[in-house]
Amino acid sequence: MNRPIKVLIAKPGLDGHDRGAKVIANALRDAGMEVVYTGLHQTPEMIVEAAVQEDVDVVSVSILSGAHMTLIPRIRDLMNRAGLGEVRLIAGGIIPDADAAVLKQLPGVAALFGPGTRTQDAVAFIAGLFRDRAAHT
């Protein structure tokens, strides 16, 4: 890849806690990635519009509100409709194991990170998405 990996980080819904999203944003920036943080209270439509406008490689959403079973599929569907089928969707937050198993089956959902995930693991995962893709092209 000739340019840095570009990641959009968003906080969908009414959840007002964004400390984790900011920590991940800083870790990704420190690793040389370009990060766009949309801020709090984003609708799925706003997130996807920002992803299109910013031409991102990854959309990462932080959800602590319990609305993950509605928001993640909606964002993924809107991404597909907007021509972002190749853009990976990652989510972090409090997602029960049973829900995570369902969400991981959605095409285009690359990973779900829960509380306690080390920032370097998230950084390495995202970097690995593009290292693997380059090796197969």
**What's 69's domain CATH number?**
3.40.50.280
Give the structural domain span for 74. 6-135
Q: Kindly state the DSSP code that residue 40 receives in the 8-state scheme.
A: S
In a domain, 82, yes or no: yes
Instruction: Give the pLDDT of residue 2.
Output: 73
Asked if residue 65 belongs to a domain, the reply is yes
Average pLDDT over residues 77-98: 96
In a domain, 120, yes or no: yes
Domain membership flag for residue 121:
yes
| C-alpha closest to that of 39 among 70, 69, 9 | 9
Q: Which residues contact 32 (CB under 8 A, 6 or more apart)?
A: 4
pTM of the model: 0.92
Structural tokens at position 113: 């990170």
CB 27 within 8 A of CB 120: yes
For residue range 91-128, what is the model confidence (pLDDT) as tens digits?
999 999 999 999 999 999 999 999 899 999 999 999 99
Using alpha carbons, list the distances in angstroms from residue 129 to 19, 69, 70.
25, 24, 25
Flag whether 1 is in a domain: no
Residues 29-57: tens digit of each pLDDT: 999 999 999 999 999 999 999 999 999 99
Mean pLDDT, the chain, whole residue set: 93
pLDDT at 25 over 50: yes
Give a yes or no: residue 19 inside a domain.
Answer: yes
Total domains, the chain: 1
| In the chain, beta strands by DSSP E | 6-10, 34-37, 58-63, 88-93, 109-113
Indicate whether 46 belongs to any domain: yes
In a domain, 110, yes or no: yes
Res. 136 pLDDT band, cuts 50 70 90: very low
How far is it, in rounded angstroms, from Cα 34 to Cα 44? 21
